[in-house]
Structure 1
Amino acid sequence: MPPSPHRPPELTGRAFRGSAVVRAGLLTPAQLRSSAWRQLYPDVYACTTLDVDHAARAQAVARLLLPDAVVIGRSAAVLWGVVLAGAAEPVSCSVSPSCRADALDRVVLTRRRLTAGEVTRRGSTQVTTPLRTALDLCRGRPLDDAVVDLDRFLAHGLVDLASVRSAARGLTGRDCRHVRSVAALADGLAGSPQETRLRLLLARAGLPAPVAQFIVRDGARFVARVDFAWPEHRLALEYDGAWHGGTAQFRADRARLNAVASAGWRTVFATAVDLRRPAGLLDLLRRHMAARTSA
């Protein structure tokens, strides 16, 4: 018969070292195996009332599993409030080159010496600073994916793009060119990952660079904010993810776009299909620009 759940108040809603709480007499080994707890990592347990999201896992790794570890990369972004990693994704952390930790399931270990200026704390957890985190987001992923991550991080205002680009220029090493390329392509203005991907697609197609998050006005009157705009052509481009709300959201979006049309603007919509097969979208944008130029 399985042991009955027993939750001491000191452990309720928390993660902890199993061996430590047994030594302290808070739980017996049998009680630790009850349904009150779930094992996250070797000798690391959490109360089943705790929401074990990626932040909780990162904190468990850096505070309990590897107490000297520093949370880095996308995991660090999560601790800074930018959800770039899901609960099931491995936690990324850095340890000293002399650390003898073995490979761990659902943990990506990097052995790197971080300077004191690159590390801070979020509560009791060591984490890379926003600038160091931003630079790490430029590493290790394909170019567009890294630009998406950096754009999302920059949008939270934790660090500015000029600082990231300046720091990227000072880097050396095998991946410094990739980091600089990512920083050069980011703008921190996208309202969604797909908007970043759409912006990169437009640039590679050779279209004139649009203005992101442009405010359409009718004289001095505010009309709407659009994802992208070419003001000289009075042309707006919207990613179609905005239509995925309920009826009230649909009506609000329709009214907004009617107002944009009344102000003399045309609006083109892009969808996920256009990101995969962009030829039709690009041709439509070019025709709109040509028509306005010749008018």
Structure 2
Amino acid sequence: MITGRSAAAVRGAAICWPEDPVHVAVPLGMRVDRRTGLLVRRSDLTRDEFAPWKAGLLASPLRMCLDLLVGRPLPDAVADLDQVLRRRLVDRQALTAMLRNRSDNGIVVARQAEALAIGCSDSVPESQMRVHLVLAGLEPVPQHWIEVGGERIALVDLAFPERKLAVEYDGAWRNNEMWALNHDRTRLNQVQAAGWRVVFVTAQLLRTPAEMTNQIRSALAGRPATRIMEP
């Protein structure tokens, strides 16, 4: 049964790349030979957890989300679920109820991930940034509009409006490039002229969450924040 990130991609959530392994679930006791390109999870499967698809089976939305969340790092699980919720691929109340009644290994973290998901993030990295900051005790506002004179001039990934600080993912993985400040210098100049500071988080910086958080704390405190560029 195709499940997890792979099932989400089939259903329209762009959360993985073509070269990523295919996430499958097989019944307990079933033997599956090791092979490149498959990520296998053994678990009890019930008839309501899958439907026919192509030459195999595709996980139901609820089962897909269970396998997205269980046994994965919290920021990654939240980021993927954000995109599933953004596209309304699963009923949120049904998902909450299902997780409440499960006792799988890792279910506590899965419930925490569901509670942190908001379903409005523009990209997977944006969600990962937000979760790292929330776990560090910061409370950024996601998908914040910066306005000047009542006119919207920029939609930023994360913001601390009271400090006029925006945090933007500086990469290509976005669902909406129209408002990307790293690509639009005119808009960036407008944002800065309005008194806002912008911290750009690269893929390199996102891989070191503690350093990313320190830079954003420094920016919130009014100290210079360094932009780390890709090698």
TM-score calculated relative to the size of structure 2: 0.75
130, 133, 137: which one aligns with 2:64: 133
Partners of 1:223 and 1:86 in 2: CA distance: 32
- 2:149 is aligned with 1:214: no
1-structure distance, mates of 2:80, 2:182 = 31
Q: Does 1:284 align with 2:219?
A: yes
Q: How many Å apart are 1:138 and its aligned residue?
A: 0.4
What's 2:157 paired with? 227
Superimposed CA distance per residue, residues 88-118 of structure 1 (whole angstroms, 9 cap, x where no aligned partner)? 544332334465x442423444443433332
Higher relative contact order (CA 8 A, sep 6+): 2
- The aligned amino acid for 1:128 is A
CA RMSD of aligned residues (A): 3.1
Answer yes or no: is the 8 Å Cα contact 2:125–2:173 preserved in 1.
Answer: no
Matched, 1:95 2:26: yes
- In the alignment, the residues of structure 2 paired with residue 267 and residue 239 of structure 1 have an alpha-carbon distance, to the nearest angstrom, of 10
Counterpart of 2:115, as a letter, is A
Equivalent positions of 1:11-50 (< 5 A) are: none
Residues 15 and 124, structure 2, Cα contact 8 Å, conserved in 1? no
Contact 1:243 1:250 in 2 (8 A): no
Q: How many residues align?
A: 213
- Residue number in structure 1 paired with 2:101: 170
Residues 203-260 of structure 1: CA deviation (Å, up to 9, x unaligned): 23322x111111122243222211111223333222222699xxxx889611122222
SS in 2 for 1:174: coil
Specify every segment of 5 or more residues in structure 2 that has no aligned partner in the other structure, as ranges: 175-179, 224-231
How many Å separate the matches in 1 of 2:183 and 2:27? Answer: 53
SS across alignment from 1:206: coil
Identify the range of structure 1 (139-148 vs 159-168) with the bigger mean alpha-carbon deviation: 159-168
Greater Cα radius of gyration, structure 1 or 2: 1
Deviation at 1:160, TM superposition (A): 5.0
- After superposition, where does 1:118-157 map in structure 2 within 5 Å? 118-122=49-53, 125-157=56-88
| C-alpha distance in 2 between matches for 1:251 and 1:231 | 19
Q: Compute the displacement of 1:119 (Å).
A: 1.7
Q: Deviations over 1:130-165 (max 9, x none)?
A: 222112100222222222322333333312545433
TM-score, structure 1 normalization: 0.61
> Does structure 1 conserve the Cα–Cα contact (< 8 Å) formed by 2:70 and 2:109?
yes
* Equivalent residue, structure 2, for 1:204: 135
Deviations along 1:169-202, whole A, 9 cap, x unmatched? 2222322112112212322333233222221222
**Identity over the aligned pairs, expressed in percent?**
38
| Residues 161 and 188, structure 1, Cα contact 8 Å, conserved in 2 | no
